[in-house]
Amino acid sequence: MPKLGRLFQPLYLASPPRIRPDRPLFQRLAEWGALLLVIGLSAFEVSGAETRGIGHGSVGPQPVGEGMGCAGWVLGLVVPLLVALFWCWLLYRQMARRTQQLQRELSERRRVEMALRESEARFRDVTEATSDWVWEMDENLCFTYLSKRFYVLTGISPQSVLGRARWELAGVDVTIDPHKWRVHRELLEKHLPFRDFTYQTHLTGNRKDGRYLKVNGKPIHDSQGRFRGYRGTGSDITEQVNVEVALHQSELRLRRIIDLVPHMIFARDRYGRFLLANRTTAAAYGRTVEELVNRSPRTIHAVEEEVERMLADDQEVIQSWTSKLIPEETFTDSAGHVRTLQTMKIPFIEPGLNETAVLSVAIDMTEQKRAKEEVARMRLYLKNIIDSMPSVLIGVDPWGYITVLNQPAEHASGLSWAAAQGRFFGEVFPQLENQFGQVRQVIREGHPIKTPRMTLETDGELHYADVMVYPLMADNANGAVIRMDDVTARVRIESMMVQTEKMLSVGGLAAGMAHEINNPLGAILQGSQNVLRRIGPDLPQNRAVADALNIDLNLLNRYLQERGVLRFLEGIREAGARAAKIVADMLSFSRRSESRFAPVGLEEMLETVLRLAASDYDLKKKYDFKRISILRDYDPALQVVYCDKTEIEQVILNLLKNAAQAMTEVNTLTPAITLRTLREPDNVLIEVIDNGPGMDDKTLKRIFEPFFTTKEVGAGTGLGLSVSYFIVTDQHNGRLSATSKPGQGSCFSIRLPLVGDALS
């Protein structure tokens, strides 16, 4: 049996692979039985053929003859047997040889089969174990096979895949990106291999909707080179895609956020190259973000010092590994505007390079700085405004405590703003203490209160001040401001002007009635002179009449003297003279026409006045003008002055008289008067300077007031200087001023406008 098995083994081994050795035993026995029968019949037929005389060693079956004899039958029985035996032997040898060959082939086959099986198993294991799957398509590009992995991964059922094309699995994707699919389809239709084709499945009812798949494929051809379809692998990259998408979105979000930040955000590596920059930064450099990245500010920033400073700061942060705040730095942007930045620099490890880099956040402070400067400038400007105001300004709160002082107020109080702040204003300005009631009233009622010409006493001197208290208007600033203007000078000038006006009207009146007054005054004065002359014993006419009447003139004279009659007469004369003088002075106040104005030789005029002074009755008698030395300091550049000669002579004479009088009163040891002329740009200056007793400020301020006199009653009319003032300022449009200090003499300055050819 084993022998027989061996004998027939090649047969089934040569049969199609469908016949396998592991089929059931009864099947194999039947096969063998059939084979034996065939062999027996064959042997019989061979013997028949040989009796018919065809005896040659042919192996092929012979057809069975119909007529056989006995001998022939015996012969026919034995011979065929022998032939059969021989055939069998032959067959056996043939078979043995064949069997050996087949056995060799079989073992080889088995080895290959084993290897194939192992490879198959390995392939299956690998297929099932990896995330990839295997697929096959037929020549119509419809799926014929997909490994289990595909179904497990995608959750798609086989019936919705097999027999369909790939684009049918990804309908939505196909419509989204038809080009991609058209290319893919064309590729497949041209039977070309492809790699890493990615698409998204959208099978309806699929729980895992929208899986991303990546496939590779290769066309299959049969031995004749005919296209039989495709075979390939596929993998699910949904997770990978999702992660990538999420990463991309996250990066986009971060990008958007840093681009939204209005500050400059950027990172630079140790070489100064931008690793990151937001849009604000790029805009500051006048570039796009893409243009900035990987470039150093050295190549794109115009101001070298700024670049070097910024990079030096970067280096410092990298080296010290500590953050740095730069409170203020300048940065010139691409438009050339200098900006002020506040920059924070923070070191960090750049993930890609694994090196220290610097993250910077720079806030543009330009506007803030400008605003701050503007506020400071404005504050200074406002302070300047209130400081420059000539009025004293005192800001107080509702309780009277000082909040603000301007410069004149500081000057008036002798206290700085800082020192006075918070103190009660009545304590700092005792002269205004009574104004507290007004402060409260003003805050309560919201209306300012004015007190014009309030009399104040400072250092024993009387002052006039206009005081105004007004409430603060701002919403929350409760308080008031006290404004005080010293109007003393104005009040004085005003009162002087009032006086002058009065004098002018008096002058006008005097001019009208001068004739009426002068005649009686003439009668008085001439009468006194005649009386005195006619009672004297010296005049021959007197003696003649006295003798005729038998009167002793000497006795009469003695009588008149002893009874004081002569003194009374002298008194009448003097009183008349004084009245005449007053009338004359008053007449000076009347305005006169300019017709009397003429160019006058200045030096000549001064000399005339000096002669007049020397011959003046009063100066000669009372003040001893000859004792006073006269110093002349004439400006040679001045020749002529345009004026009313007699008027100016009167003024200068008046000044000389006053000087002489003052010096005589105090017995100045070496009395001297200097007459000085000086050409000023617009004026002719005439000065009368004495070395007499001088005046204090109080007197000095009032000397030009009419009827103000320092002389004892009767010594002067009190009109001299006011008349002079009137003549110079009103009639000559000039100025008359005086400077003096007690014990240091006085200086009176007459300034007359320089007209035309005054120099020639």
Nearer residue to another protein within complex by CB, 178 or 520: 520
Q: What angle do CA 615, 601, 587 make, to 5 degrees?
A: 60
The minimum distance between CB 555 and another protein, in angstroms, equals 21
Task: Judge contact between 398 and 440, C-beta under 8 A.
Answer: yes
The minimum distance between CB 521 and another protein, in angstroms, equals 4
Question: Which of 729, 734, 730, 709 is closest to 719 using CA atoms?
Answer: 709
The span of 285-293, 481-489, 574-582, 735-743 binding another protein (CB under 8 A) equals: 574-582
The span of 158-166, 375-383, 397-405, 584-592 binding another protein (CB under 8 A) equals: 584-592
Q: Is 475 helix (H, G, I), strand (E, B) or coil?
A: coil
Residue 584 touching another protein (CB under 8 A): yes
The span of 357-365, 459-467, 526-534, 715-723 binding another protein (CB under 8 A) equals: 526-534
- Quote helix, strand, coil % in the chain, to nearest 5: 50, 20, 25
Residue 516 touching another protein (CB under 8 A): yes
Nearer residue to another protein within complex by CB, 586 or 610: 586
H/E segment holding residue 486: strand 480-486
Residue 518 touching another protein (CB under 8 A): yes
Task: Judge contact between 523 and 431, C-beta under 8 A.
Answer: no
Nearer residue to another protein within complex by CB, 155 or 527: 527
Q: Which of 514, 566, 630, 672 binds another protein (CB under 8 A)?
A: 514
**Rg of the chain over all Cα atoms, to the nearest angstrom:** 72
Q: Which of 539, 575, 582, 612 binds another protein (CB under 8 A)?
A: 539
The minimum distance between CB 694 and another protein, in angstroms, equals 33
The span of 197-205, 289-297, 418-426, 531-539 binding another protein (CB under 8 A) equals: 531-539
Residue type at position 191: H
Residue 538 touching another protein (CB under 8 A): no
Nearer residue to another protein within complex by CB, 470 or 589: 589
**Alpha-carbon span 658 to 652, nearest angstrom:** 10
**Alpha-carbon span 208 to 153, nearest angstrom:** 9
Residue 519 touching another protein (CB under 8 A): yes
Residue 525 touching another protein (CB under 8 A): yes
H/E segment holding residue 267: strand 264-268
Nearer residue to another protein within complex by CB, 223 or 541: 541
Nearer residue to another protein within complex by CB, 618 or 665: 618
**Would you tell me how many other CB atoms lie within 10 Å of the CB of residue 583?**
16
The minimum distance between CB 627 and another protein, in angstroms, equals 25
Torsion angle of C-alpha atoms 90, 92, 93, 99, degrees rounded to 10? 150
Residue 502 touching another protein (CB under 8 A): no
- In sequence order, the 6+-apart residues with CB closer than 8 A to the CB of 126 are none
Task: Judge contact between 641 and 602, C-beta under 8 A.
Answer: yes
**Alpha-carbon span 438 to 426, nearest angstrom:** 12
Nearer residue to another protein within complex by CB, 456 or 521: 521
Q: Is 268 helix (H, G, I), strand (E, B) or coil?
A: strand
**Alpha-carbon span 686 to 656, nearest angstrom:** 12
Residue 587 touching another protein (CB under 8 A): yes
The minimum distance between CB 526 and another protein, in angstroms, equals 4
Strand extents, DSSP E, 106-210: 133-137, 143-146, 194-201
Q: Which of 46, 361, 510, 660 binds another protein (CB under 8 A)?
A: 510
Nearer residue to another protein within complex by CB, 257 or 513: 513
Per-position DSSP letters for 314-354, written without gaps between them: HHHHHHHT--EEEEEEEEE-TTS-EEEEEEEEEEEEETTTT
Residue 422 touching another protein (CB under 8 A): no
DSSP secondary-structure letter at 293?
B
The span of 38-46, 172-180, 398-406, 571-579 binding another protein (CB under 8 A) equals: 571-579
**Alpha-carbon span 178 to 632, nearest angstrom:** 121
Among residue numbers 33 through 92, which ones bind another protein (CB under 8 A)?
Answer: none
Residue 575 touching another protein (CB under 8 A): no
The footprint of another protein on this chain (CB under 8 A) covers a number of residues equal to 30
Residue 524 touching another protein (CB under 8 A): yes
**Alpha-carbon span 554 to 533, nearest angstrom:** 13
Nearer residue to another protein within complex by CB, 447 or 533: 533
The minimum distance between CB 587 and another protein, in angstroms, equals 4
The minimum distance between CB 523 and another protein, in angstroms, equals 4
The minimum distance between CB 515 and another protein, in angstroms, equals 4
Task: Judge contact between 340 and 347, C-beta under 8 A.
Answer: no
Q: Which of 42, 249, 288, 530 binds another protein (CB under 8 A)?
A: 530
Task: Judge contact between 170 and 177, C-beta under 8 A.
Answer: no
Tell me the two tokens of residue 581. 């003088």
- In sequence order, the 6+-apart residues with CB closer than 8 A to the CB of 520 are none
Tell me the two tokens of residue 261. 């930040």
Residue 527 touching another protein (CB under 8 A): yes
Residue 511 touching another protein (CB under 8 A): yes
**Alpha-carbon span 468 to 451, nearest angstrom:** 6
Nearer residue to another protein within complex by CB, 240 or 646: 646
Among residue numbers 598 through 637, which ones bind another protein (CB under 8 A)?
Answer: none
H/E segment holding residue 258: helix 238-260
Residue 198 touching another protein (CB under 8 A): no
Residue 541 touching another protein (CB under 8 A): yes
The minimum distance between CB 595 and another protein, in angstroms, equals 9
Residue 533 touching another protein (CB under 8 A): yes
- In sequence order, the 6+-apart residues with CB closer than 8 A to the CB of 576 are 521, 524, 525, 528
Q: Which of 29, 183, 498, 523 binds another protein (CB under 8 A)?
A: 523
Question: What ranges in 346-435 are assigned the alpha helix state H?
Answer: 366-388, 407-413, 417-420, 425-428
The span of 99-107, 353-361, 519-527, 733-741 binding another protein (CB under 8 A) equals: 519-527
The minimum distance between CB 611 and another protein, in angstroms, equals 15
Residue 526 touching another protein (CB under 8 A): yes
Tell which phi-psi region holds residue 174, choosing left (phi > 0), alpha (psi between -120 and 50) or beta: alpha
**Alpha-carbon span 651 to 728, nearest angstrom:** 8
The span of 240-248, 533-541, 655-663, 750-758 binding another protein (CB under 8 A) equals: 533-541
The span of 209-217, 522-530, 648-656, 702-710 binding another protein (CB under 8 A) equals: 522-530
The span of 97-105, 314-322, 510-518, 742-750 binding another protein (CB under 8 A) equals: 510-518
Residue 582 touching another protein (CB under 8 A): no
Residue 580 touching another protein (CB under 8 A): yes
Residue 576 touching another protein (CB under 8 A): yes
Strand extents, DSSP E, 594-730: 597-601, 629-633, 640-644, 672-679, 683-690
Q: Which of 20, 515, 621, 626 binds another protein (CB under 8 A)?
A: 515
The span of 200-208, 231-239, 418-426, 573-581 binding another protein (CB under 8 A) equals: 573-581
Q: Is 25 helix (H, G, I), strand (E, B) or coil?
A: helix
H/E segment holding residue 151: helix 148-154
The minimum distance between CB 489 and another protein, in angstroms, equals 34
Give contact residues for another protein (rule: CB under 8 A). 510-511, 514-527, 529-530, 533-534, 539, 541, 573, 576-577, 580, 583-584, 587, 590
